[in-house]
Amino acid sequence: MNYNKINNLLGWACGIIATIVYLLTLEKTTSWWDTGEFIASAYKMQIVHQPGAPLFLMLQNVFSNLAMGDHTKIAYWMNVGSAVCSGLTITFLFWTISALAKKVYGRIVNNEGLSNTATINIMGAAAVGALAYTFSDTFWFSAVESEVYAMSSLCTAVVFWAILKWDAHADEPHANKWLVLIAYVMGLSIGVHLLNLLAIPALALVIYFRKSNKVTTAGVFKTLLLGVVVLGFVLWGIIQYLIKFAAHFDRLFVNSLGFGFGSGVAFFALLVLGVLVWGIWYSHKKVKPVMNIAFISVAFIILGYSSFSMILIRAKANPTLNNSDPDNAFSFLSYLNREQYGDEPLFKGRYFDAKPTDMFETGKVYRKDADRYNVARKKYDYTFDKTTLFPRIYSEKHESFYRDYLKLPPGTSPTMADNLKFFFGYQIGHMYSRYFMWNFVGRQNDSQGQGSLVEGNWISGIKPIDNLLVGGQYALPDSEKENAGRNTYFFLPLILGILGAVWHFKKDQKDATVVALLFFFTGLAIVIYLNQTPMQPRERDYAFAGSFYAFCIWVGMGALWIADFLSKKINAKNAALAGTGISLLCGPVLLASQNWDDHDRSEKFLARDMAKNYLESCAPNAILFTYGDNDTYPLWYVQEVEGYRTDVRVVNLSLLSSDWYMKQMMQKVNNADALPINIDPELIKDGVRDVIYYHDLQLPGHIDIQDLMGLMLSDDPQAKIPLQSGESANFLPTKNMQYKVDRQAVLANKVVPKEWEDAIVDTMQWTYGGNIVSRADLSIMAILANNNWKRPVYFTTTTPEENYIGLDKYLVSEGFALRLMPVAIPSEGDVNTPIADVEGTYNNIMNKFTWGNIAHAKYLDPDSYRYISMYAGSIFGETAQGLIGIGKSAEAKKLVNNAYENLPKRTYLMSEVYGYSSLIDAMYKTGENTKANEIVKRNLKFVRENMAYYMAVAETKPNLESRNMRFAMASLQNYQRILTDANQKDLLAETNQIFNSYKGLFEGGN
């Protein structure tokens, strides 16, 4: 057998198989979370959230051209880009495993030296490991969407493969070209994601083992320490301090020497270039090979890192999406340092209940003004009365969770034992080990949980073990059995990996140690570094994909352990074939069969359609306030890429507290005019009115918002109050606000429906809820004061109420958005927010809104099915009730039938059962009894089975599912009323029976 030809062909074959799988299962448009931002930014070369991914954006832009001008296909082709990167990752993983396995069988110069049996073993192991990773839960998820993690995994795969190539040729001339390649890929990877840098310590160990005449324990530890130092040098020295020095050189040249902006950066760049050129020349002349390769490697890392010049170049062009506006040295430094997100303590820090004892300055933040850099503000930190080494329970925002998790009564101070309990139990157990087991043992379901027994845990499929894990044997409801995310691998991939690790350490301890180091640094080391707080908004398993990559090397080598074991009973060749076959079945085949249904996203469109529905809920030229990632990034995608409803100005309230974003909102983009904020940017620039504090002057009555803004924006010393620091600052003197309504402007701009014109108020009055006024709050006030109802103002229905600045009672529903209207309309019944234009909303539902194929998609992810409750209740149900209320029963009947056709035929969450109440009621009122009964029966079955499940759980885990149980009881009470009115006696009897079985649990305040 020609070993190299087989190795190359099978490596490419595995990569092609993986790519085909990903092409078949990838999402055809944008998905949730960051992908909408990445696709929009890659398409127009814009600036994404910190710290940016410029190389990823540029490469994805190349894939966007394959859409051939069809804007609706751009997202698809960028997802293809991730699929291709993922397929290449599998190819390099195959070659990595084959290289490691081949070393065990001896370093053969002549390819003919390997026996056919050895070749079968090596190729079998490589195929098993590579295909196992192909179908693993975490990697597959990232492989089918336009996110950075697929390309980041490719960078890791390339550098680890390259170090093995160097290892194989280290004694040959020019072998160090592989080290230069690694340095360049490392530099390039910075423009994708920093995860790739964590491979450096493992690479250092490969070099030590290859070059050392005698391997010692001390030598290994010194090499590891050196690897960590190199990692730190790249992570901080190159990525951060190069830019920091450049920024301060620029400050020196601008502020002190009078040169223009950028002159200091140019001088520093030439200085660095000169040092590198001199170092390379000097080391070559003096024959210092280590020094030479070090300087060349640093040069190539910086060359790869230069992809970040795209950020500076495009920021100066001021694109529509320009996160942090990093157009100068200091804003670019802040962008790279992720200062927007803050820091977590690593080595020493506070406990969550610690109180500050003193404050000290830690640095200065510089701002680019007209002709110089000025100090925008100083950075401060605090000393605390309770600190600890290795702080893990430090967030005061999460005190209640910490206390509940650690069983700490109120008033009790945590100890180091509690600190370590949280570290091992939650950060390692819940936020890493659980993810690891998802990939190699099995997953209970796709629901995100925070330690709940019935959400997001790992299982194996072996009942006695699973019963021991959950503390008892419970009858699973059908909703759990049918959950596509319920994947059981019976420990088989894990066992393969453990056997492979045992085999590897027995046969080649050095290489096994290298793989173990890669496994550690891309897994547990990330846990330590991230120091995550609880209650994350999404699962974070994608951060540990490199660790699972390393373990799949051992999954592949599990085939070699099996082959060795079988070779003692049958001939070696048959043992090799059997070992490969058994391992393929226990690894890739099992993983593919279990994971396919919940990783097939080919029929999902909800993220895109939800964004379009938000926009279609808005009148022309509207201002739409959003808040979170999932109600903003898809909107950016449909506007920037598909050009959909670009007349609507989307404003993210989370970003609006930043000076750069507030200034951007004062500019016209696409077809949307600038926001009518009308505030001098100098008054809200960085360091100026970052926040305005509330100081009650006990003013009588409500104060006009124009007067309050005049006070808060005034530079008059009389309009400020003194601070403890000796400085003075603007303040908010009262929370009671009002705005006098121009009735003629309201009527002229058709702000309210005709039938509501008599409800227009002369003055809007409200109570501000916060104790500080952010730039976002100030902007909303300014828009209200300056707009005079010329442009419609909306909030997405998913925006938290605390962001309404107290205007809740003036917000009315127009579908997926709440419109600001100067009316006094009382809420009725179960409807919290009145529907402004029932007929208009009906028209949108029937003719404009789309539903992401949720009724027919083979799989819905949690981020999608969480919206079903809102669809059934707020959209379909309440609109149908509104139509019935104005005597349009025929339209209501069409609407509920539309809902029946477009909503899923299964129940996912207990909140859905509650959300369906108004829709079911409308179905009965319009004579659609059969369809209403079908939904009621389905939901009652869900409640009955899940309540029994929760009760069984409660025997060992009291109060664990009390929230879901209370939701169920509230739903049943709604159904009792609806079924009584509809005279559905049989279903009412069933509802009463379920309710009476559990009502004792909640009587008397229990």
Interhelix angle 545-566/492-507, nearest 10 degrees: 70
pLDDT recorded at residue 961? 63
| Strand residues in 612-735 grouped as ranges (E) | 623-626, 649-652, 691-694, 703-704, 720-722, 728-732
Residue with tokens 């974070």: 540
Query: Can you tell me the distance from the alpha carbon of 85 to that of 95, in angstroms, rounded to the nearest whole number?
Result: 16
Query: Can you tell me the distance from the alpha carbon of 97 to that of 127, in angstroms, rounded to the nearest whole number?
Result: 9
Range of lowest pLDDT (12-16, 285-289, 443-447, 822-826): 822-826
| Strand residues in 444-580 grouped as ranges (E) | 487-488
Query: What are 62-120's pLDDT values in tens digits?
Result: 999 999 999 999 999 999 999 999 999 999 999 999 999 999 886 543 445 678 888 99
Interhelix angle 3-25/74-104, nearest 10 degrees: 150
**Mean pLDDT on 350-364:** 89
Query: What are 594-627's pLDDT values in tens digits?
Result: 999 999 999 999 999 999 999 999 999 999 999 9
pLDDT recorded at residue 826? 61
Residue with tokens 């009476």: 996
839 pLDDT more than 70? yes
Are 808 and 729 within 8 A, CB to CB? Answer: no
Residue 510, H or E segment? helix 509-521
pLDDT recorded at residue 1006? 43
User: Residue 539, SS3?
Assistant: coil
Are 455 and 437 within 8 A, CB to CB? Answer: no
Q: Which pLDDT band, with edges at 50, 70 and 90, does 956 fall under?
A: low
Identity at 15, one-letter amino acid code? G
Query: Can you tell me the distance from the alpha carbon of 530 to that of 387, in angstroms, rounded to the nearest whole number?
Result: 19
pLDDT recorded at residue 265? 93
Residue with tokens 């509330």: 694
User: Residue 449, SS3?
Assistant: coil
* Mean pLDDT estimate for the chain: 90
Are 85 and 153 within 8 A, CB to CB? Answer: yes
CA separation (Å) from 654 to 341, 627, 684, 775? 12, 6, 16, 10
Calculate ∠ Cα 934-935-940, nearest 5°. 100
Query: What are 894-923's pLDDT values in tens digits?
Result: 999 999 999 999 998 888 899 999 999 999
Query: Can you tell me the distance from the alpha carbon of 633 to that of 533, in angstroms, rounded to the nearest whole number?
Result: 24
What the block records as the tokens of 303 is: 């060359």
Query: Can you tell me the distance from the alpha carbon of 771 to that of 383, in angstroms, rounded to the nearest whole number?
Result: 24
Q: How far is CA 862 from the centre of its chain?
A: 13
- 845-848 contacts: CB < 8 A, separation 24 or more? 845/815, 845/875, 845/876, 845/879, 845/895, 845/898, 846/894, 846/895, 846/898, 848/613, 848/616
| Strand residues in 923-997 grouped as ranges (E) | none
How, if at all, do strands 487-488 and 442-443 pair?
antiparallel
- Burial call 880-890: b when 16+ CB within 10 Å, e when fewer: bbbbbeeebee
Residue with tokens 């890659």: 42
pLDDT recorded at residue 829? 43
Return the bridge partners of 731, or none: 693
Query: Where does residue 261 rank: exposed (0-12), middle (13-18), buried (19+ CB within 10 A)?
Result: middle
Backbone torsions φ then ψ of 357, nearest 5 degrees: -115, -25
Range of lowest pLDDT (118-127, 664-673, 720-729, 873-882): 720-729
pLDDT recorded at residue 1005? 46
Query: What are 10-45's pLDDT values in tens digits?
Result: 999 999 999 999 999 999 999 998 999 999 999 999
Q: How far is CA 551 from the centre of its chain?
A: 24
pLDDT recorded at residue 953? 72
Query: Where does residue 458 rank: exposed (0-12), middle (13-18), buried (19+ CB within 10 A)?
Result: buried
Residue with tokens 């909408």: 36
pLDDT recorded at residue 109? 39
Calculate ∠ Cα 744-748-750, nearest 5°. 115
Backbone torsions φ then ψ of 649, nearest 5 degrees: -90, 110
User: Residue 740, SS3?
Assistant: strand
DSSP per-residue string spanning 795-808: EETTS-GGGGTT-G
Backbone torsions φ then ψ of 601, nearest 5 degrees: -105, 20
**Mean pLDDT on 472-497:** 86
Record the pTM. Answer: 0.91
Query: What are 239-272's pLDDT values in tens digits?
Result: 999 999 999 999 999 999 999 999 999 999 999 9
pLDDT recorded at residue 18? 97
How, if at all, do strands 720-722 and 763-767 pair?
unpaired
Range of lowest pLDDT (509-513, 828-832, 914-918): 828-832
Are 263 and 251 within 8 A, CB to CB? Answer: no
717 pLDDT more than 90? no
Domain boundaries along the sequence of the chain: 3-311+494-599, 343-414, 418-474, 606-828, 867-1006
Query: Which has more confidence, 22 or 462?
Result: 22
Query: Can you tell me the distance from the alpha carbon of 18 to that of 12, in angstroms, rounded to the nearest whole number?
Result: 10
Count other C-beta atoms under 10 Å from residue 287's C-beta.
8
Are 364 and 406 within 8 A, CB to CB? Answer: no
Query: Can you tell me the distance from the alpha carbon of 476 to that of 29, in angstroms, rounded to the nearest whole number?
Result: 35
pLDDT recorded at residue 252? 94
CA separation (Å) from 726 to 721, 722, 723, 729? 10, 6, 5, 10
Query: Which has more confidence, 474 or 574?
Result: 574
Query: Can you tell me the distance from the alpha carbon of 968 to that of 912, in angstroms, rounded to the nearest whole number?
Result: 10
Q: In this structure, is the dihedral angle defined by the CA atoms of residues 317, 323, 325 and 330, taken in order, positive or negative? A: negative
331 pLDDT more than 80? yes
**Mean pLDDT on 940-960:** 78
Query: Which has more confidence, 449 or 148?
Result: 148
Report whether the peptide linkage leading into residue 54 is cis, meaning its omega lies within 30 degrees of zero. Answer: no
**Mean pLDDT on 383-397:** 90
Are 796 and 803 within 8 A, CB to CB? Answer: no
Are 799 and 650 within 8 A, CB to CB? Answer: no
Helix boundaries (H) for 491-544: 492-507, 509-521, 524-530
Q: Which pLDDT band, with edges at 50, 70 and 90, does 212 fall under?
A: confident
Q: What percent of the chain has pLDDT over 90?
A: 67
Overall residue count recorded for the chain in this entry: 1006
Are 514 and 205 within 8 A, CB to CB? Answer: yes
Identity at 356, one-letter amino acid code? P
pLDDT recorded at residue 470? 59
DSSP state of 675: P
User: Residue 721, SS3?
Assistant: strand
Count other C-beta atoms under 10 Å from residue 731's C-beta.
19
| Strand residues in 373-424 grouped as ranges (E) | 373-384, 387-389
pLDDT recorded at residue 833? 53
Identity at 607, one-letter amino acid code? A
What the block records as the tokens of 444 is: 């209970």
Backbone torsions φ then ψ of 28, nearest 5 degrees: -85, -5
DSSP per-residue string spanning 300-338: HHHHHHGGGHHHHHHHHT--S-BTT---SHHHHHHHHTT
Range of lowest pLDDT (54-58, 839-843, 941-945): 839-843
pLDDT recorded at residue 554? 97
How much of the chain is helix, strand and coil, in % rounded to 5? 60, 10, 30
Are 608 and 638 within 8 A, CB to CB? Answer: yes
Q: Which residues contact 990 (CB under 8 A, 6 or more apart)?
A: 940
Calculate ∠ Cα 783-785-789, nearest 5°. 75
834 pLDDT more than 60? no
pLDDT recorded at residue 52? 86
| First-last CA distance in the chain | 74
Q: What is the dihedral of CA 589, 593, 595, 598, to 10 degrees?
A: 160
Closest CA to 158 of 134, 137, 188, 133: 188
Identity at 479, one-letter amino acid code? S
What the block records as the tokens of 185 is: 């890929």
Query: What are 619-628's pLDDT values in tens digits?
Result: 999 999 999 8
